[in-house]
Chain A
Amino acid sequence: MDIYLVEALLNGLLLGGVLALLALGLNLIFGVIDVVWIAYAELVMCGMYVVYWLLALAALIAILSVAVLGLLVHQLIIAPILGSPAINQLLATGGLLFFLQSFATLLFGTDFRNIGLRLPILEFADMNVSFARLIAFGVAVLGAGALYGFLSKSFLGTAIRAIGQDREIVGLMGVDQRRIYLVTSAIGGALAGLAACLLVLQYDVHPFIGLSFGPITFMICVLGGLGNMLGGFVAAFIMSEIISVGGFYFSQEIGEVLAFVVFIALIFVRPQGIFGRS
């Protein structure tokens, strides 16, 4: 096989790790609280700024501050409209998306900023692989694994999964639904913060960086079956491979166009997503 194709496949795999992490956070929120955070990638953008400004201790602070941001999003925006129609909730988080973009522009301007940290490119077997991508992939997979462990092994995690299935019964078992929603929102925020730490190693920060990841993350979630965390995880790698390999044969843009075409085709065949139940 062509060594450059192998390199493209490898890069696709590495890109998939971070996309999977983003899809995981969004799916968690949707699966548990039944609300779509359309501004999710903007939380990532906020996290990237935190890393940019506070490089020392940055990762930890970025994760914590986006977790708090997630908590605030739930408490201030979602909780008051939890009972209203889905479209209103979508519009409210859509409003948040524009608010965060504009607020970031106001604070930081539209300059592209990077942390000035240039990680080396690894060369092996005639392939070039970015060290930043390798780290991002490794940490993303570890993060996803940690979340999986928490959700399947701890009582709190089990309650989080259970509440998505049956709100009423979980209440009768003494689980406080509001507390679960807050914890879930904070975890969703922390995942966005973690993704921000990984992305800032590879991309410049600017107020509209969310647009580079938001649409693809939603596509991945829908493709995997909205709310289905395993489906989203797998779909992330399918999409990232299409983008990367398409980019290798044609160009980065065509790669993304191909990803959307495949998405549209698959959604025609399976509207509930590849892993969703009808």
Chain B
Amino acid sequence: MLAVESLTKSFDGFRAVNRVSFELRKGEILGLIGPNGSGKSTIFNLIAGALRPTSGSIRLDGSEIGGMSADQVCHLGLARTFQIPRPFRKLSLLGNVALAAFFGQRQRVTRGEAERQAARALELAGLPSDPRATTGGLGAAGLKKLELARALATQPRILLADESLGGLDHTEMDQAAAVLERIRAELGITIIWVEHIMGVLMRVVDRVIVLDHGENIFEGAPTEVAQDPRVIEVYLGKGHK
């Protein structure tokens, strides 16, 4: 449903993303991994409309979305979470998410409907839907959940989940993985999951793409990735056999 073709992004001559192509199939969870600075977040920014591609195309159901603004992409049913959570501290939890529900859909909803959808998104992400709850007491894991709830509130068809911060312990990562699986199962949302460590991701994704220095160096099943010589070189360093 989403086709990325020879996508390239240069910053002052430096190619952060270099001729990357891949396809996202409806209903799958696609893993996007690679070391820090390999271009994962830049790809998300290009798809979500925060950056304009230098060249190449991004097609959603056959129509070009590369270069559209963030709000236009959002209205087409594509939502993303941020690596570093950025809530509006002056708004309540529900207020943060309701704003996304109200503005994030192409079809305008009423205030009450926006708040109902926001409450549902909060529950799905594992946060309280109580209108009095604030963002104050949230730790790293809680803020990640808020990012997710906000993305879900826009009623997306495709979710770009940027989890590459780490900052979560093993239990929290398992929980995050379980939530993504639930989102796919219950809401039928197709997911691209960005991560820089392989760990939990490998157990959940259907396919995985490995990036290094802005290039796509591997695409295939998670079972094959650990045997690929280029991936081993990137993750474990040269000379490792």
A residues apposed to B, CB below 8 Å:
155, 158-159, 161-162, 165-166, 168-169, 171-177
Q: Are A169 and B82 in contact (CB under 8 A)?
A: yes
Whether B71 contacts A171 by the Cβ 8 Å rule is: yes
How close is A243's CB to chain B, nearest CB, in angstroms?
33
B49 near A171 (CB under 8 angstroms)? Answer: yes
B90 at the interface (CB under 8 A from A): yes
25 A-B pairs within 8 Å (CB atoms) are namely A155-B99, A155-B102, A158-B95, A159-B99, A165-B88, A166-B86, A166-B88, A168-B50, A168-B70, A169-B82, A169-B86, A169-B88, A171-B70, A172-B151, A173-B71, A173-B74, A173-B99, A173-B103, A173-B154, A174-B75, A174-B104, A174-B105, A174-B154, A177-B69, A177-B71
Q: Knowing that A166-B88, A173-B74 touch, tell me 14 more A-B residue pairs with CB under 8 angstroms.
A: A155-B98, A155-B103, A158-B91, A159-B103, A168-B70, A169-B88, A171-B70, A171-B71, A172-B79, A173-B71, A174-B74, A174-B105, A175-B99, A177-B69
In the complex, what residue of chain A is closest to B154 when comparing beta carbons?
A174
Q: How far is the CA of A175 from the CA of B69 in the complex (A)?
A: 10
In the assembled complex, the Cα of A175 lies from the Cα of B74 at a distance in Å of: 9
B80 within 8 A of A: yes
Contact-size category for B:
20 to 34
Give Cα A165 to B71, complex, Å.
Answer: 17
Contact B71 A175 (CB under 8 A): yes
Separation of A176 and B106 alpha carbons in the complex (Å): 12
C-alpha gap A166/B70 in the complex (Å): 13
Complex interface residues of chain B between 52 and 74 (CB less than 8 A to chain A):
69-71, 74
Q: A155-B102, A158-B99, A159-B99 are in contact. Are A171 and B90 (CB under 8 A)?
A: no
How distant is A160 from chain B, measured CB to nearest CB, in Å?
Answer: 11
Residues of B within 8 A of A166 (CB): 86, 88
| Partner pick for B80 among A155, A158, A161, A172, CB 8 A cutoff | A172
Q: Is B144 an interface residue (CB 8 A)?
A: no
Binding site for A on B (CB under 8 A): 48-50, 69-71, 74-75, 79-80, 82, 86, 88, 90-91, 95, 98-100, 102-105, 111, 114, 150-151, 154
Contact call B71/A176, Cβ cutoff below 8 A: yes
Q: Are B95 and A172 in contact (CB under 8 A)?
A: no
State the Cβ distance, B87 to closest chain A Cβ, in Å.
9
What is the chain A residue whose CB lies nearest that of B104?
A174
Q: Which are the 6 A-B pairs with shortest beta-carbon distances?
A: A171-B70, A174-B104, A174-B74, A173-B100, A174-B103, A155-B102
A162:B88 contact, CB within 8 angstroms: yes
Of B82, B88, B103, chain A has the most CB atoms within 10 Å of the CB of: B103
Known: A155-B111, A155-B114, A169-B82. A174 touches B88 (CB 8 A): no
Chain B proximity of A125: nearest CB distance (Å): 42
Q: Give A173's nearest chain B residue, CB to CB.
A: B100
CB distance from A268 to the nearest CB of B (A): 30
Measured CA separation A172–B103 after assembly (Å): 10
Residue numbers in B under 8 Å from A172 (CB-CB): 48, 50, 70, 74, 79-80, 151
Q: How far is the CB of B71 from chain A (nearest CB, A)?
A: 5
Q: Please measure, in the bound complex, the distance between the C-alpha atom of A151 and the C-alpha atom of B45, giving whole angstroms.
A: 29
Instruction: Check B91–A162 contact: CB distance below 8 A.
Output: yes
Question: Which chain A positions have C-beta within 8 A of B150?
Answer: 173
Chain A contacts for B99, CB-based, 8 A: 155, 158-159, 162, 173, 175
What is the CB-to-nearest-CB distance from B165 to chain A, in angstroms, rounded to a whole number?
A: 16
Residue of A nearest to B75 (CB): A174
Q: Closest chain A residue to B86 by CB distance? A: A169
Distance, CA A161 to CA B99, complexed state (A): 12
Q: Which residue of B lies closest to A168 (CB)?
A: B50
Nearest B residue to A161 by beta-carbon distance? B90
The residue among B70, B104, B114, B151 with the most chain A CB atoms within 10 A of its own CB is B70
Chain A residue numbers with a CB within 8 Å of B102 are 155
What CA separation (Å) do A175 and B80 show in the bound complex? 14
Which residues of chain A have C-beta atoms less than 8 A from B82's C-beta?
Answer: 169
**Hey, which chain A residues are within 8 Å of B114, CB to CB?**
155
A27 CB to nearest B CB, Å = 16
Look across to chain A and name the residue whose beta carbon is closest to the beta carbon of B72.
Answer: A176
